[in-house]
Each structure stands twice: as C-alpha cells, then as structure tokens.
Structure 1
C-alpha cells in the first residue's frame, strides 16, 4: 500500500503460529505513520513502543501498577458510582423523550468518567470532563490514516492537515498538563500517605524508571501515556455495549434469559461487579458479542524483530503484519453457523474459546501473544457490568418509528454502528 508493505493474516492457524508459537519474533511494531509520532511522543506508549526496554518498562508498570486484578478492584466504588450515574442519565433521557435513549453517548460518558478517575485521581466537574472528552475525540480523529502516510511524496499536499495535527497536539498538552500538575501537587501534600484508597495511574508514572534512560517521563510523555489509557478503554467498551443492546433488541429471548439469570443470582439489589463472574450466560453473551463485533477489523499492527518465515513466506523486518479479526471469528471451520448471534455456543462445551488465544486462535478481540491488550481483564469487567446493569434496570426495544435494527457498520476509531442506536428504554418495576 503505497510505500508500505502489508502482510495480512486471516487464518486462525497462522495467527496462532505467529503470535503464540513465534510470539517473541512477531512482538515488534513497525515505524509509525508520520502523524502518530506527534501524539505518541515518538512511540513512547505501551501499544506503540518497539519490542525492547522501553516497552517492557511501560507495560510492566501499566499491568502491575494499574491493571492487576487487585488494583482494578480498588476502583470498585468508582465503577459503582458511574453505574448509578449512567442509570440516572438514561432514566432522565427516557422520561423527557418518550422512552427514546441514545445508547452510545450515555455509555461512553460513564466509561470515560471511570477511566478519568482511575487515571488522574482528582475531582473534576462536568465542564472539565467535557473539555477532556472533546480533546480526546479530536486526537482520535486526527490520528486517522491519510494518503500521505502511505505515499510520503504527497506530503506537500497535506501541509494544512499536518499543521492541524500539531495544533491538536498543542491543545492536548494545554488541556491535560494542568491536571497532571494538580495531581503532582496533591501527591506532594499527601506525602507518605499517597498510596492507598487515594490512588491513580498517574502516580505510577511520575517517578517511573525506564530501562536505558536516566530520566523520568516528561510532561509531554505523561500526557501521551494518560491519553493512551483513556482512549484505549473508552470507545472500545462503549461501542461493544451499543452493539450488545442492539443484539438484545434483535433477540428478545436472549434479553429475557439475561434478566432471568440476574434476578435468580442477586434478587432485587443492584448488580455489583463481584456478581458477574457467577453469571455464566452473561459471560457467554459478552464472548459472543466480541466474536461478532470485535472492536476493530484489524488487531494493532505487528512487525517482526528479525527476518522470519510463516507458511513458507518470507516476513522481512519493517513491514506491517496485520491480523484480520473478523475472518478468524467467523471462520466456518471452527464455528458452527458463525453468522448467527448465539451466546449458547459458549455454554455447550463444544465451541468455547480462550479469548486470549493462548490455546488456539478462534477469536482475538484484544489481540494475542506478547502484545495482547493489557486492559483485557478490565475491559471484560466493564462490558459485563454495564450490560448486566442495563438489563436489570431497563427492558430494551425498538422505537416504533425506527423499525428493525440496522446492523450496518463503519470504521471510526472502532467499528461502530452506521446509524447510532436510539433505543426504547422501559424502566423495569422494582419488586
């Protein structure tokens, strides 16, 4: 594609061979698109760093310092408050619009609030939240590939776009740096009591030692790492929930099964995150949701650390190795009736899949191997919790004016519904 070589893998067997059996070899990243280097501080993020000391330091810190099971549980109260706020938002909207609710907008706001609290650990009012949200959206839009990324000779034709990218980056720095400094000051005032219930991802970054570097991350690098944390978990989760609500509307019997499981498991109290592991049908639903609607068409681009061979073909260093996730998740050789949305397939014992791809590659919504998404556990928790709470609180249906659900899709930052879902949310009676 232009001056870049793309190798596209759509075979489950070859994906497993590359990412699991030859994991260390296929664990690199290729050179970034020109625009993205502006926002990644020259590949100083967990996702973009080359396979080496910087990547090891950043990933180890994110996993151990923020995304471990224990640390994620520390933010249970944040998620509980966000779920209550989400329910209130939907109730208010449906009351004022004859039951009509925009699903993605409300869910995205709730998830973003959770991640903001986890990232910065400082109180933010509605105005600040919206400011950061707008800034993050502008970054995502600016990062979309352009023609000159693949044909650099056309660069002079895109000077306006490159100037705009620099302006967006400067605005991103101006927006986030004050919150970074506010947190730095708060930690200084807290002193030895800074680790405890009052904790944030940013705390792990201020004094982070990077292999091969003598200095801690700079403010622009801190902005980059915080932005990665926010963008990586917001749209992926919110988009999945929107597809999930659409599938519930399309399949009322699935919605009924979920509601019955919730009621029989916890009775009349609100769903809590500690409940979701004990709901097999909910977990099967989420797996099927991610099989049918992975966040993106392609896993994050890989590259090899040294020249390699795969299926008899030469894989040189520096080329883009792409994994086409829908072809794997819809492969009729490993799935029965893959075009159908059927959570029961994961309960039969015949079609269950390890979502990490470690045993065999049947689906890879979070990638696989050494560069698998470090937020897999948190992402699954958020989707399960939000879906459970939404089904517990509301019965979902189509608006009379809308007719059948349109499952057409388009690619933005994630694969979203072509027409954003406006659904009928009917509050369930509390018994």
Structure 2
C-alpha cells in the first residue's frame, strides 16, 4: 500500500472528479449505516490522500489511527470501504464465530485477475464451490501430514545442499553468510520439487524465481485499484501485466509438459518423483453450475505459482528473523543446541526428531508471535451484511486484520516486546495458532481462510533452524555488534538490512 500514491497528477484528477460527483454520491442520513469510527475523508477518494500525505508506511498510518479510533475502525479508500481489526476478540468473532460471513475475497481490478485466472486459486477464489474444491484438493491430496511425509527425502536432500551452500559461502567470505538468500533458495527448491515432481537445474530455479518475483511486483497496489475511473491512465501498467503473464505462462507450461512426459514415461526423467501437487490438478473436476471441465494450462500455471509463492518468502522471512533472535540471544541458541544434542546425539536432526524438541517449538512460536511474516492477512470480504463489535459491516466491505497489534498486545502477553521462548516452554502462556480455541497470535491467519500450508511451513522452519544450529555456531557480524531489528516491506516484512552472520562449524 504505498507506491500508487506518488503521482500528483492522478491525485489532482481524482480530486476534481470527487467534486463533480460529490452531491450524487451523498446518501440521506436516514440510510446511513453505523460503521466503525474512522478519520473523515474527502468525497469519492475518501482517506486515500490522507494516507499519502502522512508520508508513512501504511503500517504506521494504521497504528496512528488505531490509537485514535480503537481496535476497529473504518477507512474509505476510494470506492472501497475498509474495516481494520486489531483486537483478538473481534478477530475471533469475525473469523471463527462468524467465519462463513467473513470468508470471501474482495473485488479485483480486471488487470489483476489475469494472474489468478479470474480468481481461480485457493487464495483468490470467492467463497463457494470452486474454492472448496481447490482447497480440499490442496489440503487432502498434498498438504495433509501423510502427504507431506512423502516428500521427506526431498527435504533431506535439500538440507544437505543448504548446509553445503552455507559452508561454501562462509569459506569464500571469512565465515560470513547471508541468511535469507540461502534459506529462500533452499525452501524454493523444496517447493518446486513438491509442485512439479521434477528436480530442476539451478538455471531453471533462478528463472522461475525471477518470473514469480515479476508477478508479485506487478501485483503491487495502485491507485486505480481503489478508483477504477482512473484505469485508463494505467494502460502502460496493463500492457506490462499482460507481458509478465505471457512470460509466466510460457515458462511454467514448459514445466507442466515436462511433468506430463515424466508421468507417461518415467524413464524419461530419472530425477522425477512418484507424486506431485501438479498430479493432483491434472484430473481435478469441479462442481459449479452443473459442473465444469478440468483446469486449463493457464489455470494450472496459476495454481502452481500460488503453491510456490505461498510457502517461499514467508518461510525464508521466519528463518531470518529467527536466526536474528538466536544471535542476539546466545543463551537461547545454547539451549536449543543442548536440546538437539540430548535428542539426537551425534546424528543429524531428522523430521521425526522435531516433535520431541519442545524448546525448539517454543522458539519458533515466539519468532512467529514477535515477527509475523506479514503485518496483514490476505484481505477478507463479507458475503452478506454483518454486525461486528456493535457496528454494521456492509456486504463487500474489505476487512483487514492487523497482526502486530495482536501478537504484541500487553493485555494478552507479558513483556510482549521481549523475545522469551520460555513463555511457551514453561506452560505459563499458550497460543493456538489455528485460532480455534481463541486468538492470541495468527501468523497464518485463522478460520476458513487459514493458510493451508501451515503444517508444511512450520516443518520447514523447525527443520531448517535445527540443522543450521546443529551444524554451525552463529554470531553477529561484525563481531560484538548488536543485530539491527529494523524492518522494511517487500513481499513480506523483512529485515531492513539483510542479516549477515558469522558462522563456524560445530566441533
């Protein structure tokens, strides 16, 4: 929520248009709903330019409004009404108690829908039969505990490559490594194999990564998402979106066809796995309006891209923040290592060992509480008019859930700014990250739209941190310095200065 506010020309156009239709857009007081409070806005454009004039990241603007208006407030963002929630009880009411009503997704600019194949994906689909079919397939046929275990060998192989990359980089740079870059590459390789069932050459991995990054950049918010009347002024961006989509489809369809050939003739690709996410999609049928055919190639591109995007940056971000905290808190790092050695001895950590490592689990939970990979869940929308916290929530309202306010709420947590895994390992505090029994943190969302990859993502985070600590001693770079915990927004909330660390092999 930032870059599209930069054009003064478009701002002037929008403001002039607001004056022209001001009187047409007014509603009689008797018909007005009791919306949550919020800053008064301008006709038509609402609070758009107030956000721009603040010259602050959207997260900081939300913090300012939260202090003024409380844990539920309204922003008028052009033609959209946005309600922001930052209270655990309100979130639980919306997503658990009234989950079906708050489970939809908002309208999209038509330029955006080319990347979701007209909202044909788990994340983007409207709440209905298509969404249920896609999500059920992903969860039951790919991300269930049993299915995830089928790729244990893929993860073991990727961990060995990950450790080698760290060792090689350290040897070439006097012991210094970049954490996020290496973690991200390892996760991406795992997900590529799980998705397509083929092991790719590094050149293909890099190319795929570049394409998906281009897609995410193209999907960054613009002012015409909120003021569709300005869409004609964005023809250049529209053409760019179609160009990026064409590149994406051409490259990914090549991988899809490679998988088809491997299934027809397993000997044609010796590195192919016996099973992949793509396999579950080839013959998937959908029951909607009397039924529809299997997914087209373009729809398969969308679904595969979603699978990769959903689990790469969030996991790598969690690894970077987690290692930053372990470096800053050497006593915690030492306790995790002691638990690893007590659990596995001299052998390498395997997935089956993770469930025995209670303190490691507490560390990961504390990382996700203090450093959620995103500040907001994906935007929700209501399927019908609803009540929440005594206020009206009209149909099609965009509902945003502000995560840092919940994970660091002093009413919910003791010393919320402190990194203290013992709050969980001692049993003094607890948090169900699924939100079913109550919301105290929600790094993966909660309710019907909770991230389907929660289980797989947490396995990757636990396994990677355990292997990194088992193989190396991690200290700050430069030596004796403090870790800089400032952040910036990219695709996730990353460290402003990418974490560099000095590593030394364990003896």
Q: What is the TM-score of this pair, normalised by structure 2?
A: 0.82
CA distance in 2, matches of 1:251, 1:401: 14
Following superposition, the deviation at residue 188 of structure 1 comes to 2.6
**Aligned with residue 342 of structure 1, among 410, 413, 420:** 420
Following superposition, the deviation at residue 123 of structure 1 comes to 2.8
CA distance in 2, matches of 1:34, 1:362: 36
The residue aligned with 1:409 is: 487
Asked whether the equivalents of residues 74 and 197 of structure 1 are also in contact (C-alpha less than 8 Å), the reply is no
Q: Which has the higher contact order (CA 8 A, sep 6+)?
A: 1
Q: Does 1:12 align with 2:95?
A: no
**Aligned with residue 141 of structure 2, among 65, 69, 77:** 65
The residue aligned with 1:274 is: 352
Following superposition, the deviation at residue 155 of structure 1 comes to 2.1
Q: How far does the alpha carbon of each residue in 1:252-272 deviate from its partner, in whole angstroms, 9 at most, with x for none?
A: 001001111001110111111
Runs (4+) of structure 1 exceeding 4 A deviation are: none
Asked whether the equivalents of residues 104 and 420 of structure 1 are also in contact (C-alpha less than 8 Å), the reply is yes
Following superposition, the deviation at residue 401 of structure 1 comes to 6.6
The residue aligned with 1:230 is: 308
Cα 1:245/1:314, change in 2 over 3 Å: same
Cα 1:35/1:260, change in 2 over 3 Å: farther
Asked whether the equivalents of residues 101 and 423 of structure 1 are also in contact (C-alpha less than 8 Å), the reply is yes
The residue aligned with 2:336 is: 258
Following superposition, the deviation at residue 45 of structure 1 comes to 0.5
Asked whether the equivalents of residues 34 and 149 of structure 1 are also in contact (C-alpha less than 8 Å), the reply is no
The residue aligned with 2:202 is: 126
Residues matched between the structures, number? 425
**Aligned with residue 150 of structure 2, among 74, 81, 85:** 74
List gaps (5 residues or longer) in structure 1.
none
Q: How far does the alpha carbon of each residue in 1:272-316 deviate from its partner, in whole angstroms, 9 at most, with x for none?
A: 111111000000000000001111111111111211100111111
Following superposition, the deviation at residue 189 of structure 1 comes to 3.0
The residue aligned with 1:39 is: 115
Asked whether the equivalents of residues 474 and 504 of structure 2 are also in contact (C-alpha less than 8 Å), the reply is yes
Q: Does 1:326 align with 2:404?
A: yes
Q: Does 1:384 align with 2:462?
A: yes
The residue aligned with 1:160 is: 236
Q: Secondary structure at the match of 2:473?
A: strand
Moved more, 400-409 or 53-62: 400-409
Following superposition, the deviation at residue 34 of structure 1 comes to 4.0
Q: Secondary structure at the match of 1:57?
A: helix
Moved more, 151-160 or 106-115: 151-160
**Aligned with residue 88 of structure 1, among 164, 183, 186:** 164
The residue aligned with 2:471 is: 393
Q: Which has the larger radius of gyration?
A: 2
**Aligned with residue 109 of structure 1, among 185, 208, 217:** 185
The residue aligned with 1:188 is: 264
List gaps (5 residues or longer) in structure 2.
1-76
Q: Does 1:351 align with 2:429?
A: yes
CA distance in 1, matches of 2:455, 2:156: 17
**Aligned with residue 173 of structure 1, among 243, 249, 264:** 249
Cα 1:401/1:349, change in 2 over 3 Å: closer
Q: How far does the alpha carbon of each residue in 1:110-135 deviate from its partner, in whole angstroms, 9 at most, with x for none?
A: 00000000000123111111111111
CA distance in 2, matches of 1:135, 1:410: 22
Q: What is the TM-score of this pair, normalised by structure 1?
A: 0.96
CA distance in 1, matches of 2:393, 2:351: 44
Following superposition, the deviation at residue 35 of structure 1 comes to 3.8
CA distance in 1, matches of 2:221, 2:506: 44
Q: Does 1:216 align with 2:294?
A: yes
**Aligned with residue 299 of structure 1, among 377, 382, 386:** 377
The residue aligned with 1:26 is: 102
Following superposition, the deviation at residue 403 of structure 1 comes to 2.7
Following superposition, the deviation at residue 36 of structure 1 comes to 2.6
Asked whether the equivalents of residues 120 and 130 of structure 2 are also in contact (C-alpha less than 8 Å), the reply is yes
Q: Secondary structure at the match of 1:403?
A: coil
The residue aligned with 2:503 is: 425
CA distance in 2, matches of 1:197, 1:116: 11
Q: Secondary structure at the match of 1:145?
A: coil
Asked whether the equivalents of residues 409 and 416 of structure 2 are also in contact (C-alpha less than 8 Å), the reply is yes
CA distance in 2, matches of 1:295, 1:400: 25
Following superposition, the deviation at residue 386 of structure 1 comes to 0.3
Asked whether the equivalents of residues 33 and 145 of structure 1 are also in contact (C-alpha less than 8 Å), the reply is no
